[in-house]
Structure 1
Amino acid sequence: HHTGRETYFTPAAWVFNVWTIINALLLGFVVYQFFAPSREVVDGIGWRFALVGILNAIFVHVWVTRHYIVAFIFALLLASSISTAYYSLTAHYGPKSIGDTLFVHLPFSLWHAWSIVLVIISAFSLFTHSHRNHPSTLSVILVVVAEAFLTLTAVGYAFRSREGDIAGSAVLFCVLLGIYQEQASQVIRYCALAGAIVSGLAIVKSLYFTFVSRDRGVSLGSDDERRPLVA
């Protein structure tokens, strides 16, 4: 957070702990893949894990060294690669155990949502002026559009299946809440707060259908009809 360029989209520092959580879960993934029950679902990731690991390392390096053009390019490559792994898991390798959920599906759900955030942060770092300046009308509009996009994506995660993707929605909820806490512009702050509220309601929906209404005959459409908004 403190090594990159501050922007009008940058959330509060605590939001970047999402990355720490992802890395801890991925360490669990590395260990979990050596156990027999994980074999099938780990195949859903395959070679992509090595690829996204390399892309992530390159992105972090060019980001902290402030090469924002290269960082934006690698953020796009990272998001695309994570998306292929995410959709492989969700479409063909559903979780069959707590281990599958905790060490395979959860980290890649978090990472997929976080990769979207990294693309947007990288874009603002590259294409907008320093955070020290008063935001122009155009900057405010662009940030509000980005906040609306994250909000709609969080809703898309919640409605991608009957239970939805709680982890993906939660990441975007945290980012929007972090923007509300971090930024000074009232328009940016309260649009972020509105987005966080909508995202929170989407999470409540997913929690309800996951834990309360699991056995009831309520359908919100097939997985193909309810995919997240970003591929």
Structure 2
Amino acid sequence: MTFSTHHWPSKVANILVYLTLVSGNLYSTFIGGEDQDSPYHSKHQSYITPAAFTFYIWTLIHVLLGGMVIYQWFNDKVHKAVGWHFVIVSIINAIWLALWTAGHTFLAFVTLIFATGAVSFIYYRLKEQHAADTVAEVLFLHLPFSLYHAWIFVLLVINAFAVFSSAEGEPSTFQAVLAIVGLVFVASTVIGYIEYKKGDVAGALVLSWYLFGVFAQQKDAAIHWTSLGLGIAVAVYTLKPFVTSFFGRQSGETAPLLG
């Protein structure tokens, strides 16, 4: 790899917004005042809110994105695939985090819709136009946005339930059914990651991780056990690309697992 200063304005901008994104999450989690609401320990609980540890997937995403902002100086494919869009994503994400920590859940939800669209743009661009050719491209270009795309979708669902429902004691039958419908909706998107996104195992595992987090957090029996069953089902379903790849090799064909 050769160090390159081509497109340096966008590369510098990526570093700046990355640092802002990380510092914003750290501040809201460890330093913010009692009147603020951290995504990790949210006061806006619903019946599909996962356990606090689930949100630490942000740590993995941040580490991989940190690798990307370093890797971009050695591979111009990062600029071609991501360009200035990561700057847009990070700014919208920072606005969402500020609104969420301030308790403006509806405005946060609207902002998160735009953030989801921005991340999806990068994600689909990587899938359709910039397939990974090396392990480094998988780790520092495709993997972070696979995780980011799945996780921001999960956040969108969590945020939606935080706006329109709240967890106060035992859920009613209607609330429990609504929560289960939400969980099934999240789990069903695994079909898109495995069947239509070239076997995106990483994105599918994020969904499973979230469902296990709901299992750990929610005590209502119907929600508790449904989330466990769905989490196991999603985790098992992620094995399909590996099985397909194995039998594909036996027949002389191969299938990509991440992009």
Q: Which of 46, 58, 61 is equivalent to 1:7?
A: 46
Q: How far is 1:10 from its partner?
A: 0.6
Q: Distance in 2 between matches of 1:141 and 1:219?
A: 43
Q: How far is 1:152 from its partner?
A: 1.1
Gaps (5+ residues) in structure 2?
1-39
Which residue identity lines up with residue 201 of structure 2 in the other structure? I
TM-score using structure 1 length = 0.87
Does the 8 A contact of 1:11 with 1:182 survive in 2? yes
Q: How far is 1:206 from its partner?
A: 2.6
Which residue identity lines up with residue 184 of structure 2 in the other structure? A
Which residue identity lines up with residue 108 of structure 2 in the other structure? A
Tell me how many residue pairs correspond in the alignment: 218
Q: Which of 138, 149, 152 is equivalent to 2:188?
A: 152
Which of the two has higher C-alpha Rg? Answer: 2
Gaps (5+ residues) in structure 1?
223-231
Q: Deviations over 1:6-53 (max 9, x none)?
A: 111111111101111111111111111010xx2124411112100001
Residue in 2 that maps onto 1:23: 62
Q: Which of 174, 196, 205 is equivalent to 2:231?
A: 196
Q: Distance in 1 between matches of 2:186 and 2:139?
A: 24
Does the 8 A contact of 2:186 with 2:207 survive in 1? yes
Q: Distance in 2 between matches of 1:6 and 1:220?
A: 44
Residue in 2 that maps onto 1:226: none
Q: 1:20 to 1:141 in 2, by over 3 A?
A: same
Residue in 2 that maps onto 1:127: 164
Does the 8 A contact of 2:92 with 2:115 survive in 1? yes
1:141 correspondence with 2:141: no
Does the 8 A contact of 2:248 with 2:254 survive in 1? no
Correspondences of 1:1-231 after superposition (within 5 Å): 1-35=40-74, 38-129=75-166, 131-160=167-196, 164-210=199-245, 212-213=246-247, 215-217=249-251
Q: How far is 1:219 from its partner?
A: 7.4
RMSD of aligned residue pairs (Cα, Å): 2.2
Q: Distance in 2 between matches of 1:220 and 1:4?
A: 47
Q: 1:100 to 1:220 in 2, by over 3 A?
A: closer
Q: Deviations over 1:160-203 (max 9, x none)?
A: 256x0011011000000111111011111111112112101111
Q: How far is 1:142 from its partner?
A: 1.7
Moved beyond 3 Å, runs of 4+: 207-210, 216-222
Q: Deviations over 1:38-70 (max 9, x none)?
A: 212441111210000101111111111111011
Q: Distance in 1 between matches of 2:197 and 2:154?
A: 22
Q: How far is 1:137 from its partner?
A: 2.1
SS across alignment from 1:159 = helix
TM-score using structure 2 length = 0.78
Identity, % of aligned pairs?
Answer: 34
Does the 8 A contact of 1:5 with 1:125 survive in 2? yes
SS across alignment from 1:112 = helix
Does the 8 A contact of 2:248 with 2:255 survive in 1? no
Q: Distance in 2 between matches of 1:192 and 1:70?
A: 28
Q: Distance in 2 between matches of 1:108 and 1:213?
A: 28
Q: Distance in 1 between matches of 2:163 and 2:252?
A: 45
Does the 8 A contact of 1:174 with 1:196 survive in 2? yes
Q: How far is 1:140 from its partner?
A: 1.3
Does the 8 A contact of 1:56 with 1:78 survive in 2? yes
Residue in 1 that maps onto 2:27: none
